[in-house]
Structure 1
Amino acid sequence: MALAVLSLLYSITVFLVGSGTFSYVIWILVALFFGFLWFMEKKGLWDKVPWILRRIFRVLIILGLAVFIICQGGILTQFFSKGEDGADYIIVLGAQMREGGPSAVYKYRLDAAVEYLNNNPETIAIVTGGQGANEPISEGDGGKAYLMDKGISEERILVEKDSFDTKQNITNALNLIEDDENMKIGIVTNNFHLFRGTLLARRYTDAEITGIAAYTEYQFLPNNMVRETFGIIKDIR
């Protein structure tokens, strides 16, 4: 019951961020799941459930946990990646734009890009992302404006503004450059997202891919890492 209540409270926290996604629903479902387990145990109802259904239930829970743990392990392999110097291009994966500028998630990605670009003056940045229904401008255009405000020259910034998910961010960005197996490309995104970003990039180019992990506020890591599990499952096929 404690886990059910904590999950429900966390869903409210995620909802109040106003990210435009429905990931808070995941935590409502988690709360319902723990509430169900508590109810079944409290009322002593498990013995009334046919043994075959109990076994199927347990197997499904074990399989779900196994998939979750494997995905989390994959995420952690790129969690602290700082990339390698000398990239020809870096691709900054888009995230939500707000009236006042990039969302916190996107800002951290762009700040990581600024740091890399300042340390590698020959590198070109590609900022990605279309304009969602709740965004004032495209994520690509917003990313470009932010980089320029931080002192990155316009000549070093390419903009992709037609994509609406991670896969499109990467494939559309690659279409802007000449694909070459001798090229080095850095993928810039938040630490929890970098495993999937580099995984997809390696699928669509023969260039050398490195990951550049941006910060994430720790109170939102549980939500982001659970949600990312579903993204990995969707894109890994």
Structure 2
Amino acid sequence: MIYFFRGLTVFSLLQMIILFVFGGAAGMVPVWLGVGIVATLLSFKRIFNKCFRIKLIKAFFAIGILVFVGVESFIVWSGVKSVPGEACDFIIVLGAQVRGDTPSVTLQYRLESAYDYLMVNPQTKAVLSGGQGPDEITTEAEAMRRYLVEKGIEEERLILEEQSTSTYENLKYSFAIIDEIKANSNVSIVTNRFHVLRARMIASDMGRKVDGIGAKSYFYLIPNYYFREFFAVMKEIIT
């Protein structure tokens, strides 16, 4: 077990370096720093033995590992099985960071999945959902519209939702737009695979049954995305 914590120390350091160099997964540096500090302390045999001699700590650690593995398994499985199904009336493309007026790599992956779906299903319309952040010169929705139009998607198939600032607002405002156009629509959500489970949970809390269309993620940030998503999903479960 000590070697596990030593490995976790190295892994945490590696993730912090990746975040400093490449950016992305906002807010995860302090988390990895905390994990690294705890793992480093538990890498010392004397501290490890002193802590894990207490049965309550052993129990909490075992339960924590089981919960983490269980939740992450659901996150991974939801993303893996989120393949396009039958043609739907609308897809909601969830926004992500825009650099200037250019979609970030994360958002580009979502747009590529949306593009593929729209090309195969010409009757489907897309709600492009995302407002304007403090460091963005345009709304995420507008950046997505430009991207898809340049790739050949007809502009009349694209509906902009430009007010939202969170996944909850993405879905709330997008569903409101869809309901005005067509009640009881068949809707799928386009987002990265790590985000599919939480997006569907939020939609379910709104009384909506939706499918997910999972897009890939930038490979070097995958550990950060999935680790961060664990806490987000737990918050959704608890609240």
TM-score by length of 1: 0.89
CA distance in 1, matches of 2:101, 2:17: 23
Give 1:197 shift: 1.1
- Counterparts of 1:168 and 1:74, CA distance in 2: 23
Contact map agreement 2:128 2:158 (CA 8 A) in 1 = yes
Q: Deviations over 1:48-96 (max 9, x none)?
A: 5696xx3332222222222211211211222222121311000011110
RMSD value, Cα: 2.1
* Alignment match of 1:200 (pick from 202, 209, 223): 202
Tell me the residue number matched to 1:103.
104
Matched residue, 1:93: 94
- Tell me what 2:24 maps to: 19
- Measure, in 2, the Cα distance between the counterparts of 1:163 and 1:76: 26
Partners of 1:161 and 1:91 lie apart in 2 by 13
Match of 1:184 in 2: 186
The whole-number CA distance in structure 2 between the counterparts of 1:230 and 1:177 is 30
**Identity within the alignment, %:** 33
Which of 132-141 and 102-111 deviates more?
132-141
SS in 2 for 1:106: helix
- CA distance in structure 2 between the aligned counterparts of 1:162 and 1:100, rounded to whole angstroms: 16
Deviation per residue, 1:189-221 (Å, 9 max, x gap): 011111111222222144x41110101122221
Q: In structure 2, list runs of 5 or more residues that go unmatched.
A: 1-5
1:222 aligns with 2:223: yes
Q: Say whether 1:6 aligns with 2:7.
A: no
* Contact 1:129–1:169 under 8 Å retained in 2: yes
Which range moved further: 214-223 or 172-181? 172-181
Instruction: Give the helix-richer structure, 1 or 2.
Output: 2
State the secondary structure of the residue aligned to 1:91.
strand
Letter in 1 for 2:234: I
Correspondence for 1:69: 69
* Gaps in structure 1 of 5+ consecutive residues: none
TM-score normalised according to structure 2 size: 0.88
Counterpart code for 1:30: V
Equivalent pair of 2:101/2:143 in contact (CA under 8 Å): no
Equivalent residue letter for 1:55: K
Counterpart CA distance in 2 for 1:104 and 1:114 is 15
SS at match of 1:199: helix
Which residues in structure 2 correspond to 1:147-158 (within 5 Å)? Answer: 147-158=148-159
SS in structure 2 at match of 1:78: helix
Whether the 8 Å contact between 1:11 and 1:28 is mirrored in structure 2 is yes
Greater shift, 156-165 or 107-116, is seen at: 156-165
Q: State the SS of the aligned residue for 2:179.
A: coil
8 Å Cα contact 2:190-2:212 kept in structure 1: yes
How many residue pairs get matched?
231
Is residue 85 of structure 2 the alignment partner of residue 84 of structure 1? Answer: yes
